[in-house]
Structure 1
């Protein structure tokens, strides 16, 4: 099924004008990354071969990656001399390799070679895309084959946290596996467009659709809107934070945050600050979490497949989480919130039934 694209670099709600079917003869519409390839060909980031093929299952070389990144970032690809002993001026990729190296996107090796024909691995790809896209924040993920002493460790955590890449069901990342042209196209497209980031959500995910705007009614009648945007900035310094969720109201300052999910939990994180776990997996009634988290109250799953009515619709598959009264906090009433697959938190009420937060609209 064709994906509907949304241009989020300025305003999430603006739709991207669909380009004609541009994918090559060997990329049928049912190919896994057809839409991503089609999208990038339309933006002239990638091209096919003279025989009208794209060869999506061919391994990407370092030279090809330099060309794709160069076109994506608008670098000067004019053939030129480079500082690498194995990349001559006559090389088709020499201009892009030189420009990408100067911009800090791709680096060579200590022996002054670039190794243009070497395959790009998933670890290499993580480092490159961490340089190309704005990805300053990350959640430390528990891949069985990724350790903190690996060169790509931080980059892998970042690009997975920003939904550019994803691991495998066996909880591995396989950083030494080669990347194909189709896979690399998917990674690039996800870095550019939230609609493709949605494809990285795991099955039965509680993450929201990154192409939608969600509206919530607060207890004082104020409407809080939440959208996924690239226009996020750290308030204190103005530092760009890349794609994040933004909460905004008519009168209050905007708040930016991440919505992350692993096989173990769903959490909300604030830039260079705390992460608050809102749900733990597998979901089981009676499970207690945030026991030792100084940033979040102890919470308990008190219901599964619960029916909850909101201003948007009535959900019949909500997970109810209860946060009991904290005796150390004056006037604390405790509260419950309701999590729904694909919608996140749809409603929060205190233990007396007063509604604090409620989903009312999605557009």
Structure 2
């Protein structure tokens, strides 16, 4: 009997040890994958942003821990990245009035595309062109409207005319330091974005949204409590 109890205790202890070891190893292995990319070192300007957006599963990592920083970001990919970062569920109820000739239920990231178009984060024309590489001006509109950032005008660029329909989104994205122009006062609105560029913009958008939320929370906290107001609650005599 004693021998049986002793064996049971040993078995229980061994099982717990194995579970703890497996958990620790799993966490260590995942951390190693997250912390080290096969094609991106810590000196890369996008490294910290890539580290964050991949660890949060907003953007994917390929086989062999490759991030592929120079790979183009399609509009369909951008929809997924922003949709996940902005907590827009892929199971969201779709707006019935949104449709494109080149987008169907079989299209990659279909739900994200439709959901984001319904809030004007993407232009709604006859076609969406899901495999086209997203441009900086398209990314500006996508991010500003998806994260519901207040419009800020005033940022001017020599290559963004007053007739550019993305003008206010470009100014807003630049004001929040999400997408900025260069030293020549050019925004390069038609420039196509790669994964490193997009990771940086996405991380900055998340930071901007957090700052706005914190500012709003502080403003609400600073508002006077109605219960503290000096109100005469004496009843009138009959």
User: Structure 1 length as normaliser, TM-score?
Assistant: 0.47
Q: 2:88 aligns with which of 71, 75, 78?
A: 75
Query: For the residues of structure 1 that align with 2:142 and 2:108, how far apart are their CA atoms?
Result: 20
Contact 2:37–2:66 (CA<8 Å) still a contact in 1?
yes
Q: 1:92 aligns with which of 105, 108, 128?
A: 108
Structure 2: 5+ residue runs without aligned partners?
Answer: 1-29, 225-238
1:108 aligned partner: 124
Deviations 1:117-159 (A, max 9, x none): 1111111111111112232242412311112110111111111
1:26 aligned partner: 39
2:204 aligned partner: 190
Q: Which protein has the larger Cα radius of gyration, Structure 1 or Structure 2?
A: 2
Q: 1:40 aligns with which of 42, 53, 67?
A: 53
Q: 1:90 to 1:51 in 2, by over 3 A?
A: farther
1:220-299 alignment, distance < 5 Å: 230-233=213-216
Q: 2:195 aligns with which of 172, 177, 181?
A: 181
Size of the aligned set, in residue pairs, is: 190
2:135 aligned partner: 121
Query: For the residues of structure 2 that align with 1:20 and 1:187, how far apart are their CA atoms?
Result: 24
1:9 aligned partner: none
Partner of 1:173, secondary structure, is coil
Partner of 1:145, secondary structure, is coil
1:287 aligned partner: none
The structure, 1 or 2, with the larger RCO (C-alpha pairs under 8 Å, 6+ apart) is 2
Deviations 1:293-340 (A, max 9, x none): xxxxxxxxxxxxxxxxxxxxxxxxxxxxxxxxxxxxxxxxxxxxxxxx
Contact 2:83–2:89 (CA<8 Å) still a contact in 1?
yes
1:198-213 alignment, distance < 5 Å: none
RMSD of the alignment, in Å? 3.2
Deviation at 1:70, TM superposition (A): 1.5
Deviation at 1:73, TM superposition (A): 2.1
Deviation at 1:98, TM superposition (A): 2.0
Deviation at 1:51, TM superposition (A): 4.3
Query: For the residues of structure 1 that align with 2:159 and 2:104, how far apart are their CA atoms?
Result: 37
2:67 aligned partner: 54
- The structure whose residues are more often strand, as a share, is 1
Deviates more, 1:116-125 or 1:42-51: 42-51
User: Structure 2 length as normaliser, TM-score?
Assistant: 0.69
1:141 aligned partner: 155
Partner of 1:24, secondary structure, is coil
Deviation at 1:69, TM superposition (A): 1.4
Contact 2:120–2:145 (CA<8 Å) still a contact in 1?
yes
Partner of 2:214, secondary structure, is strand
Deviation at 1:77, TM superposition (A): 2.2
Query: For the residues of structure 2 that align with 1:97 and 1:120, how far apart are their CA atoms?
Result: 13
Provide runs of 4+ in structure 1 moved above 3 Å.
78-82
Query: For the residues of structure 2 that align with 1:142 and 1:104, how far apart are their CA atoms?
Result: 23
- The structure whose residues are more often helix, as a share, is 2
Deviation at 1:172, TM superposition (A): 0.6
